[in-house]
Amino acid sequence: RRPNHDSTDECPKRKPKKKQNVSADGENQEEKVTSGSDSGLRVSSQVDEYEQDTSDEEDIRNTVGNIPMEWYKDYPHIGYDLDGKKIFKPIRNKDELDEFLDKMENPDYWRTIHDKMTGTDVCLSDEQVDLVHRLQQGKFGDVNFNEYEPAIDFFSNEVMIHPVTNRPADKRSFIPSLIEKEKVGKLVHAIKMGWIKPRRPKETAPQYYDLWAKEDPNAILGRHKMHIPAPKMRLPGHEESYNPPPEYLLTDEERQVWEQQDPDERKLSFLPQKYLSLRAVPAFSRFIQERFERCLDLYLCPRQRKMRVNVNPEDLIPKLPRPRDLQPFPTLQSLVYHGHSSLIRSISISPSGQWLVSGSDDCTVRFWEVCTTRCLKTMEVGGPVKSVAWNPAPSISLVAVSYGENVILVNPGLGDRLICSATDQLISSYEEPEEVKDQQVQWAVPEGKAQEQGQRLILTHPKAVKQVSWHGRGDYLACVMPDDGSSLQVVIHQVSRRRTQNPFHRNKGAVQCVSFHPSRPYFLVATQRYVRVYNLIKQELTKKLMANCKWISSMAVHPGGDNVICGSYDCRLAWFDLDLSTKPYKVLRHHKKALRGVAYHKHYPLFASGSDDGTVIVCHGMVYNVTACFCFSSLALSHISFYSVREWCVSIFSPQLFGLIDVYIANHIYSNLGCIVTITLPTLSSSQVRKASSSFALTLHCPKL
């Protein structure tokens, strides 16, 4: 099949094509062949007008048409001829045997075919057989037909003198198209309006060039003032190596911890791993994620300028004078006073500096000689002693002791006998006034044993007395009975006239402690948060000091009278300068726990604070700075006091749990004198006490004993 022939000549093609189609199936093929051969026969016998017309290939011998011939199977005839007469089947009855014999004997059997239309057997001629063979091979029926005739180029480039068709030209071929005109008009309009742009010429400029050719080093945009450059990626450490030192690998426990942690909490974002060779290292599975996260950080993460503190921590420590240069101050534990069997609540030193009195929970008051730690006198009272105070007047030998609701005034009978007897005389010389006022406190004179012990007066208060405090001249005594709801919290006794007065008529909060001003007629009252300073002569409030703390525990007034320190239960020590302000000049927070007691030294600029954390801190406080000089630890402090009578001796007493009083003294004076004596002290049976006391050196540096 040549497709090129299809287009060029149609006429010769038609017949063979049909025949080829037919040759595909068996039975029809033979029929058509016979009809073809018959038409050839017919040409010779009958000449009619339809000779050339091949379209009518109707079989004219039998007019039944193209029907299945089985329909005439049961009839004697097989159809009708042109004249309408029956065509009878040939009279023969060939059975299978005849057929077989015929097949065996007849040499032309293979070229004999049965014509179903006429019912006759036709023997094909040689030409016909040849034709069948050719058709079966897919060749043209005509032997002389040349399949490969040269094609005549009909529509060629050569201009013929005659037109191909003689058809007159359409009207539209010579009248310009309106539709096209419209379209072009639209395009022109669009171009004019700039809606259609001509195709851009391809850019010829190089992709990269010297961008910074004309760079101006000072050209920094305004925006860049606020610019915070992104930090660079963190550089990898040893643990990221493919072959790290073994200590960088995680142990099983660490690995478990790592796995359980939240990815954000992990210190390392990956598990360190060790590979024996570079060949064994696999791809890092989170590589793209990490790069992506970096991208996100770069454009999504809010940036903030953070001042990195690049300080040497040593620079932060304040430059204070060396404690050594600030001496004297107590540095060594030198004396321990054993004797009390329970907590010591309060101590006081005699104005002469020779004696020490201590009151304890074991219901005793003990009098000690300071230098020798010898207990000279023990006095039992009717309850746990809350407070003791030695009369500050050197001409009077009296000690106020408070226990329960009572305050007793004791003449210890120590020291100068003249003074003692003078004191006794002073007390006994009291004459009852004519008009006895009804007082809230009852004054009584003890008798018998109590008198022998030295008790001179007993003052019975309506409530428990917490603190007693002497006025500097030694005639007045203030007692504190803390009670939140009552106006009777502080009473002031005048010993010489055995009179009691209640200075305050209104309750201003629970009073914690009181103190007389050493030089001026002031009276300081510390409530929970404030220290009130009253003028006793004018009888008015002079100042109210705000302590900036939650609960004042103790207070001390400097002997000069200008400074006050307050200790509080919230670990603060507030230092007031009365001349400056009602606010603290300085607040120190060097204790870890509540402060229990504070004390001033009389001559040196020292103050001490004792706290529940078991430490006493001695500070050297000048106006320009405060330096902590010395800190020592002891157990459960309750009350501390400076020993500041003799110039050469700076010491601090700190009573401890289980009845010990430690004395720390400044050692340099003693060491100058160069006499070292070891003294030993009787110990207590309690193992706890031994533990506490044995941890200190028991060496006293002392000039003389």
Partner 1 sequence: MGGLQKKKYESGSATNYISRNKARKKLSLSLADFRRLCILKGIYPHEPKHKKKVNKGSTAQRTFYLLKDIRFLMHEPIVGKFREYKIFVRKLRKAYGKAEWGTAEKLRGNKPGYKLDHIIKERYPTFIDALRDVDDALSMCFLFSTFPRTGKCHVQTIELCRRLSVEWMNYIITLRSLRKVFLSIKGIYYQAEVLGQIITWLVPYQFAHDHPTDVDYRVMATFTELYTTLLGFINFRLYQTLNLVYPPKLDGKGEEESRAESEEDYAMDSERYMEVLLHLFCHSRFSHPCFGSLQEKLFEGLKFFLNREVPRESLAFVLRCFGAQVSWDKSLCIGSTYDVTDETITHHVVDRPSLEKQYINRYYVQPQWVYDCVNARMLLPVEDYFVGVTLPPHLSPFVEEKEGDYVPPEKLKLLALQKGERPEQEEEEEEEDNDDSEEEEDEDQSDDEDELKGMEEKCRVCRPIVLFQASSVKVTPGEAKPVNRQRAEQEAKAEEKRLAVMMMKKRDKYLYDKIMFGKKRSVREANKMSAKRKALDEASKANKKKKLKK
Binding to partner 1, residues 186-225 (CB under 8 A): 196-197, 199-200, 207-212, 215-217, 219-221, 223-224
Residue 412 C-beta: closest distance to partner 1, Å: 23
Among 375, 536, 628, 645, binds partner 1 (CB under 8 A): 628
Residues 96-155 touching partner 1, rule: CB under 8 A, are none
Residues 381-400 touching partner 1, rule: CB under 8 A, are none
d(CA 16, CA 131): 11
Residues 62-91 touching partner 1, rule: CB under 8 A, are none
Question: What does each C-alpha distance from 75 to 31, 62, 96, 642 come to in angstroms?
Answer: 22, 15, 21, 160
Nearest to residue 658, comparing CAs of 332, 335, 337? 337
Mark the segment that binds partner 1 (CB under 8 A) among 48-56, 159-167, 348-356, 620-628: 620-628
Residue 287 C-beta: closest distance to partner 1, Å: 5
Among 282, 448, 485, 674, binds partner 1 (CB under 8 A): 282
Can you say whether the dihedral through the CA atoms of 429, 433, 439, 442 is positive or negative?
Answer: positive
Among 52, 137, 285, 429, binds partner 1 (CB under 8 A): 285
> Would you give the binding string for partner 1 spanning residues 540-579, x where CB under 8 A is met?
----------------------------------------
Residue 283 C-beta: closest distance to partner 1, Å: 4
Residues 415-454 touching partner 1, rule: CB under 8 A, are none
Check residue 300 for interaction with partner 1 (CB under 8 A).
yes
Q: Which amino acid is at 265?
A: E
H helical segments located in 9-108: 11-23, 26-45, 96-105
Among 283, 307, 436, 537, binds partner 1 (CB under 8 A): 283
Residue 279 C-beta: closest distance to partner 1, Å: 4
Among 226, 307, 436, 537, binds partner 1 (CB under 8 A): 226
Backbone angles phi, psi at 21, to 5 degrees: -60, -45
Check residue 236 for interaction with partner 1 (CB under 8 A).
yes
Beta bridge partner(s), residue 359: 346, 365
CB nearer partner 1, residue 490 or residue 616 = 616
Mark the segment that binds partner 1 (CB under 8 A) among 182-190, 309-317, 342-350, 442-450: 309-317
Instruction: Return the HEC string of 394-455.
Output: CCCCCEEEEECCEEEEECCCCCCHHHHHHHHHHHHCCCCCCCCCCCCCEEECCCCHHHHHCE
Check residue 695 for interaction with partner 1 (CB under 8 A).
yes
Among 189, 294, 417, 473, binds partner 1 (CB under 8 A): 294
Among 41, 301, 418, 541, binds partner 1 (CB under 8 A): 301
CB nearer partner 1, residue 512 or residue 693 = 693
CB 76 within 8 A of CB 88: yes
Check residue 313 for interaction with partner 1 (CB under 8 A).
yes
d(CA 645, CA 601): 9
Q: How many residues does the chain have?
A: 705
Render the burial of 100-135: b for 16+ CB within 10 Å, e for the rest: eeeeeeeeeeeeebebbbbbebbebeeebeebbebb
Residues 261-280 touching partner 1, rule: CB under 8 A, are 270, 272-273, 275-279
Mark the segment that binds partner 1 (CB under 8 A) among 119-127, 157-165, 310-318, 544-552: 310-318
Strand ranges, E, within 150-197: none
Residues 631-690 touching partner 1, rule: CB under 8 A, are 631, 676-683, 690
Question: What does each C-alpha distance from 100 to 66, 92, 94, 104, 391 come to in angstroms?
Answer: 30, 15, 10, 6, 169
d(CA 83, CA 67): 19
Q: Name the packing angle between helices 26-45 and 126-136 (round to 10°).
A: 140
CB nearer partner 1, residue 123 or residue 220 = 220
Check residue 624 for interaction with partner 1 (CB under 8 A).
no
Check residue 303 for interaction with partner 1 (CB under 8 A).
yes
Check residue 252 for interaction with partner 1 (CB under 8 A).
no
Nearest to residue 482, comparing CAs of 551, 535, 538, 547? 551
Among 151, 187, 320, 622, binds partner 1 (CB under 8 A): 320
CB nearer partner 1, residue 149 or residue 290 = 290
Nearest to residue 364, comparing CAs of 337, 391, 324? 337
CB nearer partner 1, residue 39 or residue 699 = 699
CB 493 within 8 A of CB 500: yes
The HSE-up count of residue 333 (CA atoms within 13 Å, CB side) is 20
How many chain residues are in contact with partner 1, going by CB under 8 A?
A: 103
Check residue 245 for interaction with partner 1 (CB under 8 A).
yes
CB nearer partner 1, residue 157 or residue 285 = 285
CB nearer partner 1, residue 136 or residue 269 = 269
CB nearer partner 1, residue 123 or residue 295 = 295
Query: What is the CB neighbour count within 10 angstroms for residue 667?
Result: 20
The SS3 of residue 236 is coil
- Cα 56 to its chain centre, rounded Å, is 102
